[in-house]
Amino acid sequence: MNPDTGLIFNIQRHCTEDGPGIRTTVFLKGCRMKCPWCQNPEGIKMHPEIVWYEELCIKDGKCAKICPSEAIKTGRNGIEILRDRCSYCGKCVEACPAGALEIYGKQYTVDEVVSILLRDEVFYEKSGGGVTLSGGEPAIQSEFSTNLLKELRKKGIHTAVETSLGVDWRLLEPVVKNTELVILDIKLMDEEKHLKCLGVPLSLVLTNAKRIAELGKPIWARTPIIPRYTDDAKNIEKIADFIRENLPTAERYELLAFNKACLKKYKRLGISWEFENDDLITEEKMDLLTEAARKRGLNQASWSGIAKRKK
């Protein structure tokens, strides 16, 4: 993997939830975890992907005609992308007059990304903000992420890294060593469920979390509250116990309420999503789970997101 270029699928400005102050979040492609509820499915695979905006499609067939891999089929309802044939050349995107096709994943050099990020330097300074690397999993592109963080810190920009912890320490260590804040997820505390649902051992996640704390890095810990997976009090209690006993640098523990904002992303990628018909978590349940964490000694526990209002 080229350490001088990174595959990025979004650079989002004016973020306020990915660390302190006003921030720009850089979303890098590639993730080894297989979370069924992933909010950024376009960030999982380590290659570009074509997405189709059905609502914009004018069904003129130009994309199918120009595709050198014959990876697009047309029909009465629009198009079907044969992703096993797609070479990600982007010719269909260029040919579409309606902007109904887009390619997620573009190569950037470190200098190119830094140039974009410095456009909002005044906002970082005024708000105590900075830049956050997210994904996907930034440590998958370890060398690029590390080089980018080093350049930002040279320029006095506060940096944060969001990590799933589901990567080898040799990839994660240089990334977290070169950031000022680590935002990490601990989702499940059952070893069997963790491996089955997420695709990586729980032991890897917990060991990486401990190592980050041993480096003295400030930590914001999070748990997504997902129906049928992470939304029971015992799971939250076990996570809270682990944080209290092993992560002395944890400044926050945040429960993230399940949401369906990513549903359109799955449809645009042609992927089914098992949570399409699930309701939002209720405020009562979010309060209950937060209190469960606090009762285990995590007074810094809180929850965020959209939930069903109390009656």
Question: Do 94 and 113 have their domain in common?
Answer: no
Question: Do 80 and 183 have their domain in common?
Answer: no
The predicted model gives 273-282 an average pLDDT of 97
Domain boundary among 89, 104, 119: 104
For residue 78, the enclosing domain spans: 55-104
Angle at 179 between CA 114 and CA 265, to 5 degrees: 65
Question: Do 237 and 172 have their domain in common?
Answer: yes
Is residue 50 in a domain? no
Q: What mean pLDDT, rounded, does the chain reach?
A: 97
Say which CATH number the domain at 134 has: 3.20.20.70
Angle at 49 between CA 111 and CA 172, to 5 degrees: 55
In whole angstroms, give the CA distance from residue 192 to residue 210.
Answer: 20
Half-sphere exposure of 149 (CA within 13 A, CB side): 26
For 189-227, what is each residue's pLDDT tens digit?
A: 999 999 999 999 999 999 999 999 999 999 999 999 999
Q: What is the pLDDT of residue 311?
A: 65
For 16-51, what is each residue's pLDDT tens digit?
A: 999 999 999 999 999 999 999 999 999 999 999 999
For 228-260, what is each residue's pLDDT tens digit?
A: 999 999 999 999 999 999 999 999 999 999 999
How, if at all, do strands 78-81 and 219-225 pair? unpaired
Q: What is the pLDDT of residue 310?
A: 72
Q: What is the pLDDT of residue 11?
A: 98
- Label residue 4 by pLDDT band (50, 70, 90): confident
pTM: 0.95
Q: What is the pLDDT of residue 119?
A: 97
Closest C-alpha among 11, 17, 7 to residue 257:
17
Number of domains within the chain: 2
Greatest Cα-to-Cα distance within the chain, rounded to the nearest angstrom: 62
Question: Do 121 and 177 have their domain in common?
Answer: yes
